[in-house]
Amino acid sequence: MPETLITRPRRRMFSGRADQIAYARDFTRRALGACPVLDEAVLLVSELATNALEHTATGDAGSFRVTVYQAEAALLIAVKDDGSGKIPLPSPADALAENGRGLALVELMASRWGHCSDQHGRTVWFELRWNRRQPI
């Protein structure tokens, strides 16, 4: 079985303010460069950063961190927030709702996703995979 080369993780911390979501998207674009699933990754980072602000202590003058791991045909991105007593779960689909679709998008688009937490906060992550022969 051939070895999978994974890049060194790229990390950046962001303040728990709404204007920082655009910076998180930009960081993700720059960290990934030419990647077949760049648009999907940027969208999902935006959703997880928004969730961190709206549903955790991050939105109360906290912070969140985005970490990007990339391999030849996959990437994993983790968003660590300041924690919450709520478990992150996708909301039931509501065609008329203006929000509440973030984790449903993650579940739909990601190859897999999950979360873990401890006394220092929570990390929600997703993985995207692609065919190595897929053009960029």
Mean pLDDT score of the chain: 88
Residue-wise pLDDT for 33-60, tens only, equals: 999 999 999 999 999 999 999 999 999 9
Instruction: List phi, psi (to 5°) of 109.
Output: -90, -30
Query: Does pLDDT of 130 surpass 70?
Result: yes
Cα–Cα distance for residue pair 41/39, rounded to 1 Å: 5
pLDDT for 1 equals 41
Find which of 70-74, 102-106, 130-134 is predicted with most confidence, using mean pLDDT: 70-74
Question: Domain limits at 107?
Answer: 10-129
Question: The domain that contains 101 carries what CATH number?
Answer: 3.30.565.10
What tokens appear for 12 in the block? Answer: 């950046």
- Enter the pTM of the model: 0.86
The verdict on residue 134 lying in a domain is no
Is position 136 within any domain? Answer: no
89-107 residue pLDDT tens:
766 655 545 555 678 889 9
Q: How many domains, the chain? A: 1
Q: Considering the domain boundaries, does residue 24 fall inside one?
A: yes
Q: Is residue 1 part of a domain?
A: no
